[in-house]
Amino acid sequence: MSEWTIGVIGGSGLYAIDGLENVQEIRVDSPFGEASDALTIGTLNGHKFVFLPRHGKGHRISPTDLNARANIDVLKRAGCTDVLAISAIGSLREELAPGKFVVVDQFIDRTVNREKSFFGSGMVAHVSMADPVCSRISDLAEQAAQAAGADVHRGGTYLAMEGPQFSSRAESHMYRSWGCDVIGMTAMPEVKLAREAELPYALIGMVTDYDCWREGEDAVEVNAVIAQMQANSDRARQIVIKLSEILPEEREASPIDTCLDFAMITAPDARAPALLAKLDAVAGRVLNNA
Query: How high is the pLDDT of residue 223?
Result: 67
Among residues 82, 211, 257, 269, the one annotated as catalytic is 211
Kindly list the distances between the CA atom of residue 219 and the CA atoms of 90, 168, 239, in Å, as whole numbers in the listed order: 12, 9, 30
Nearest CA to 39 out of 19, 9, 59 is that of 9
3-class DSSP state of 195: helix
Q: Which is catalytic among the residues 37, 209, 269, 280?
A: 209
CB atoms inside a 10 Å sphere around CB 64: 14
Residue 94: strand, helix, or coil: coil
pTM across the whole model: 0.95
pLDDT at 222: 66
Instruction: List the domains of the chain with CATH numbers.
Output: 5-287 (3.40.50.1580)
Residue 105 a catalytic site member:
no
Strand duo 101-104 + 152-154: pairing: parallel
Residues, the chain, total? 290
Burial label for 228, CB within 10 Å (0-12, 13-18, 19+), is middle
Residue 227: its pLDDT value, please?
72
Active site residue 234: no
CB 19 within 8 A of CB 241: yes
For Cα atoms 140, 242, 132, give the angle at the middle one, nearest 5 degrees.
30
For the chain of 290 residues, list the mean pLDDT of each consecutive stretch of 10.
Answer: 88 74 95 97 96 93 97 98 96 95 98 97 98 98 96 98 95 98 98 98 94 78 69 86 96 96 96 97 91
CA distance 70 to 76: 10
One-letter amino acid at 181 equals D
Of 279, 278, 285, 277, the residue nearest 261 (C-alpha): 285
CB neighbour burial string for 187-214, b if at least 16 within 10 angstroms, e if fewer: bbbbbbbbbbbbbbbbbbbbbbbbbbbe
